[in-house]
Amino acid sequence: MGERAEPQPVDPARKPVGPSTLAVHGGEVRPKPAHSLTTPIVQTATYTFANTQELKDHFDGKIERVEYGRYGNPTQRVAELKLAALEGAGECLLFASGMGAMTTALFAMLSRGTHVVVTDDSYRRTRQFLNQTLSRYGIEVSTVPAGDYDALEDAIRPTTRVLVSESPTNPYNRILDLERFAAIGRRHRVKTVIDATFATPYNVRPLEWGIDLVMHSATKYLGGHNDLLAGAVLGSAELVGAIRGLQGITGAVVDPFAAYLLVRGLKTFALRMERQNANAQAVAEFLAAHPRISRVHYAGLPSHPEHAIARKQMRGFGGVVSFEVAGDLDAATRVVDACTIPYIAASLGGVESLIEQPAIMSFYELTSEERLEIGIKDNLIRFAVGIEDADDLISDLAQALDRAFASG
C-alpha cells in the first residue's frame, strides 16, 4: 500500500480565510473516502497490513498510517487538524476529556525534582492534580495570586519547568495578560501552558501571544452540544509529539464516535461563538444595571478589572456571565430556581443555556467560610449563555429576579 492521504487544513499559502471557513473546511481532504461529504466514522480498534513489508515500512517511517486504535484514528485525525487550523497550531492531540489532556501534558513535561507555578484562579481540578497528585511523585508546586506577575516571576526556581494558568477563568472571568505571561516564561526558559476553554480559538489564540501549549476541554464550546467528552492540547509539532508518545502509553484516547461528533459540532463553531458572545454581552449589561445585582463578572464590561487587556487580545468575551445577587445563598437559590429557560447543570459551552451556583454545584462539601477563603461567594451565580434569543434570556432573568426577591 502507498502512503495514506493525510487531511490538511485550508491552504495557508492562499488568502487567509475566516474562522467559519476554517471551522467548516479545515483539516478535511477532498474527496473523502467513498466520496462522502461528511467525515466518516472509522469505528475500529484494529488496523490490518497487506503484508510484512508494509508493517516494516510503517515502523521505519517510510509510510504514514495507523497501526492500532490507542495510537490514533482517521476520524480523530480530521478533528485534530481542524482544531489545529482554528488555533493556528503546528499540531493538535485529542484526549478522552479535558482533564485527560491537562494531566497527560503535565506528566509529559515534568519529572521528579521539578517544579510548577500555577495561578490560584486556575481550574479547580487542575490545581487538585498539581497539589495533591503530583506531590506524591516528587514534583513541587507553587500557587501565586492571579494577576500578580511579580509574584509569578519570584516563584520561579532553577527547577521550574512549567507555568500554568487559565484565561478567562472559572467562575470570575479573570483575564491573563498572555503576552506578559509568555515573556516571563521565555525569560526563564520555562514552558507556558494556558487553559483557554472559556475563550476558545474564536476569541483568542494564545499561541499568537507566545504561549507554548494551549489546552481545551472540547466538551464545551468546541463540541457545542453537550453530547461528547473530549480534550485537546495544541502547540508546536515537537511539544505535542512528545505528549502524543505518552498518550500511547497511558491510553487516554478519544473514541471515533466522539471525534466524529466533535467534527460535526465544529462546523457551526464560529456561528455559535458569535451568537454566544453577543448574548452574554447583552445579559451582562442587563445584569450590571439591575438593582438586585451587586456585581457582574464579565470581561466585556468596562467595570471588569482586566477589560483593557481583554479588548487588546480577544475578539469577543465569551459566553459565561457570573454575577452576585444582593443577598445570601438562599437568595441566589431562589433566582436560579425561578429561571425557566436555562437548565440547572454543570458544564458550559453548549447551545442550551445552563445556570448554577458554584457554592452548591462545585463546592457543596465546604462550609461558607471555607468557600469564602478560596473566593467562592454564597451569592454567586454562573450563567453559561446559550444561543437562544437574547431578549428571551433577559426577560427570563428579569422575571426570576422579581419572583426571587418578591418571595424573599
Q: Which residue has the cell 487587556?
A: 309
Which residues lie across from 188 on neighbouring strands? none
Cα 343 to Cα 352: distance, rounded to the nearest angstrom: 8
Q: Which three cell numbers stand for residue 405?
A: 426577591
Phi, psi for residue 65 in degrees, rounded to 5: -160, 175
Active site annotation includes 123: yes
Q: Is position 68 annotated as part of the catalytic site? A: no
| Residue 51: partners with Cβ closer than 8 Å, 6 or more residues away | none
- Which one from 32, 65, 70, 295 is the annotated catalytic residue? 70
| Residue 149 near residue 177 (C-beta atoms within 8 A) | yes
Q: What CA–CA distance (Å, rounded) separates 343 from 381?
A: 13
In contact, 329 and 366? CB cutoff 8 Å: no
Longest dimension (CA), the chain: 77
Phi/psi of residue 344, nearest 5 degrees: -85, 110
Our answer to whether residue 71 is catalytic in this structure is no
Locate 302 and state its grid cell. Answer: 468596562
- Catalytic hit among 57, 82, 121, 123: 123
Q: Specify the long-range contacts of residues 297-300, CB closer than 8 Å, at least 24 apart.
A: 297/171, 297/172, 297/173, 297/321, 297/322, 297/323, 297/324, 298/173, 298/322, 299/168, 299/173, 299/175
Catalytic residue at 220? yes
Active-site choice (161, 205, 220, 272): 220
Catalytic pick among 177, 195, 255, 396: 195
Q: Cα torsion for 108, 109, 115, 117, to the nearest 10°?
A: -110
C-alpha torsion angle, residues 276, 278, 284, 285 (rounded to 10): -170
Cβ burial, residue 4 (10 Å; 0-12/13-18/19+) = exposed
Residue 12 CB neighbours (<10 A): 11
Residues annotated catalytic, as ranges? 70, 123, 195, 220
